[in-house]
Structure formats: C-alpha cells, structure tokens
C-alpha cells in the first residue's frame, strides 16, 4: 500500500486544479468570440457579455477537480506528459460543469458549491443555454487536441468521451425514471447500475481511460482500468450519498438530506425500503411519495433516523469497505503494467482516500 496521507491526496488534487483552471479560463471567452462574418454588432455586445458571464459562473466556482485529476494521474503514471493531458483534462472538467447545471435543474437543487444554483440565479431557460454553451466548448477543446495528439489520437479521445457521456446520461434517465415512479423495490444491484453509469464510468474509470489512451495503453490494460475505476466509483458515490445525510461538506452544503428531498434512489434508501416494517413503512411511503417542496425538515430527519435504526447506514458502510478491499486487491493483482512512481502511489491510495474522505 502506498505510504500517503489524506492531506497529500487533497494537495495533489489542488495542484492539478491549479494547472487545469488557467486553460479553462483562457478558453471561456471563445464562447462569444465569432469570426467576422457572424460577429455581433457593437450595439449588441452587452448581450454577449451577459451570456459569457452566466456561462462562466460554475467554472469560476471551481470544484475539487477530481475527474480531470484522474486523467492526469493515470496518464502520467503510464508515461504521458502533462502537455499531452491538460487539454483533455480541461474538457473533462467542462463536462462536469454543464452536466451539473442540467442536473441541478432536473433535481431543482437550491445550491451548488455553497452558492445558489444557476437556474435560481438566471431562470431555468437561461441556465439550459449556459449548460449548452459549456457543452459546445467541451467539444471545441477536444477538437483542439489535433495539434497535441494528432487526428487519430483526437478521434480516440472523442470516441471515449462519447461512450462515457452516453452511459452517464443513460444512468441519469434510469435514476430519474425510478425516482418519478417512486420505485420502492430496488435491490443493491439496481442501485449499482446507476452508480456504474454515473460514477463508475464518468467519475473514475472514464477519466482514467482517457489518460491511458493518451499514453497509448493496450485494450487489455484499458479493460483493467475500467474494472478498477468501476469499483472505486461505487465507493465514491456511496460515500458521497452517505455524506449528504451526515455532513455539510465543510460548509458548502446548507441542506442536510438533499437526496431525500429529491427522492434520489441511494443504497441507503433502497435498503430502508426493504427493511422497514409496519407503521414505519406506511410513514416512509407517504413521505417519499411527496415532491421536494412538500417534504418538511422533520420528514427528512425522520427518514435519516430510520436509516440509522434499520441499519441502512451500517449496510452502506459494509458495502464501502467491501468495495475498497476489492479495489485494492484488484489494483495489486491486475495493475502491474503501471510502473512504480509517485503517480502509481496515488492511484493505489485512491480506495483508502475515498473511504475516509469527509466532504
């Protein structure tokens, strides 16, 4: 096991963020920079400025940059230079920004990274457009890889992006469908289907594969990277959902139990639906059949207390420990193609970091 600390891993994420953000910042103005034949008249410049300002809100808030850091880590662990990786890492972060804008509208989330969500600042209609602008910029930046990776490498990266994002939006469809149906008979495997799509691939395995593709990795090695990323992705999301019920994310989240307000299907909620009995079952069904605005803080507190009472938190913690162990074992048994280096050490430490993170 790599001899690292939690803080060292956090510092690594911050270091990559400091490298990636300037590239995003320098590309944001291209959202409104047009060729002469379709450039806006000077009298309309204020509208372009407004569009750029709105589209820049989420990128400027800067998250943890976990996903693009996985591109950098895996790519450098396999011999790619930062110069070859940074543009793809920046595009990965932009994908998170537009997905979060759309996700916040779908869930009607009140906040993002400690401040009002974009659709509450600008209306849903304008927020959709801001997300679309960042989506286009993501593909524009991926096209810019032609001068870095050549045509073949650029198309390989864009193909992986397409597969990753297709699986992500499929996972979102499944999650929304089951939430809208207030589906109460979900198994752990059902929840893991969502987690593999939205987190296993998009958050961990996909970014790692992107870094590995840039480093010219073999198909067999890419498969091993996917399996390791899937296991760590399960761990990432279960921990994230558990923290939603128990943490304020170091002051960035004002509403405890936001997933319960949204009706989001998590490992804990699915377990509670399976375990709850008698009057508690009737109360749970009544609470979870309401939309977020008809659920009260006392309703959410009641659900959290029942998760504790019926062992849903314990079940989630047991699964997280299982996935952490499986991921560590898988890494040691199948990732020998990654040569010893500080980058490999961080990758090996990843399951431990995710298991013990507090925000």
- 352 belongs to a structural domain: yes
Q: Whole-prediction pTM value?
A: 0.94
Is residue 45 over pLDDT 90? yes
Whether pLDDT at 311 is above 70: yes
Q: Is residue 253 part of a domain?
A: yes
Confidence at 254, pLDDT banded by 50, 70, 90:
low
Query: Does the pLDDT value for residue 255 go beyond 80?
Result: no
User: Which band of pLDDT confidence, cut at 50, 70 and 90, is reported for residue 256?
Assistant: confident
- For position 218, which CATH number holds? 1.10.600.10
Query: Given this model, what pLDDT does residue 108 score?
Result: 87
Q: For residue 187, tell me if it sits in a domain.
A: yes
State the CB neighbour count (10 A cutoff) for residue 257: 18
Whether residue 269 has pLDDT greater than 90: yes
Of 225, 204, 201, 203, which Cα lies nearest the Cα of 213?
A: 225
* 216 domain-assigned: yes
Task: Share the mean pLDDT of the chain.
Answer: 94
The count of structural domains within the chain is 1
In total, the chain counts a number of residues equal to: 359
On the question of pLDDT at 1 being above 80, the answer is no
What dihedral angle (degrees, nearest 10) is formed by the CA atoms of 85, 90, 93, 97? -160
SS3 115: strand
What DSSP element (H or E) covers 44? none
| pLDDT of res. 286 | 95
For residue 32, count other CB atoms closer than 10 A to its CB. Answer: 18
| Contacts of residue 108, Cβ cutoff 8 Å, sequence gap at least 6 | 119, 262, 292
Q: Is residue 1 part of a domain?
A: no
Mean pLDDT, rounded, for 321-343: 97
Report the pLDDT value the prediction gives residue 78, as an integer from 0 to 100: 98
Residues 6+ apart with CB under 8 A from 284: 272, 273, 276, 303, 306
User: By residue range, what is the domain housing residue 97?
Assistant: 6-356
């Amino acid at each position: 096991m790599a001899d690292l600390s939690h803080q060292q891993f956090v510092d690594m994420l911050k270091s990559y963020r400091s490298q990636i953000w300037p590239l995003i910042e320098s590309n944001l103005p291209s959202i409104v920079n047009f060729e002469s034949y379709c450039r806006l008249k000077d009298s309309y410049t204020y509208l372009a400025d407004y569009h750029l300002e709105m589209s820049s809100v989420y990128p400027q808030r800067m998250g943890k940059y976990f996903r693009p850091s996985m591109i950098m880590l895996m790519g450098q662990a396999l011999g790619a230079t930062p110069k070859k990786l940074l543009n793809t890492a920046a595009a990965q972060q932009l994908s998170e920004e537009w997905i979060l804008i759309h996700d916040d509208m779908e869930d009607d989330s009140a906040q993002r990274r400690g401040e009002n969500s974009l659709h509450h600042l600008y209306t849903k209609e304008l927020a959709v457009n801001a997300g679309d602008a960042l989506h286009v910029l993501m593909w524009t930046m991926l096209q810019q890889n032609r001068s870095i990776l050549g045509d073949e490498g650029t198309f390989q990266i864009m193909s992986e992006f397409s597969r990753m994002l297709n699986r992500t939006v499929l996972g979102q469809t499944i999650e929304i469908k089951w939430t809208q149906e207030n589906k109460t008979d979900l198994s752990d495997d059902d929840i893991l289907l969502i987690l593999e799509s939205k987190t296993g691939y998009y958050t961990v395995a996909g970014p790692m594969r992107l870094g590995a593709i840039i480093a010219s990795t073999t198909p067999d090695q890419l498969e091993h990277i996917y399996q390791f990323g899937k296991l760590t992705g399960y761990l990432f999301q279960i921990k994230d959902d558990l923290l939603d019920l128990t943490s304020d994310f170091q002051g960035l989240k004002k509403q405890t139990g936001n997933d319960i307000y949204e009706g989001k299907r998590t490992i804990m909620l699915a377990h509670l639906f399976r375990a709850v009995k008698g009057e508690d079952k009737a109360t749970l069904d009544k609470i979870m059949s309401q939309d977020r605005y008809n659920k009260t803080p006392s309703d959410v507190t009641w659900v959290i207390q029942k998760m504790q009472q019926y062992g849903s938190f314990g079940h989630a913690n047991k699964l997280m420990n299982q996935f952490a162990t499986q991921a560590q074992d898988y890494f040691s048994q199948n990732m020998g193609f990654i040569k010893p280096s500080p980058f490999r050490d961080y990758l090996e430490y990843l399951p431990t970091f995710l298991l013990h993170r507090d925000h």
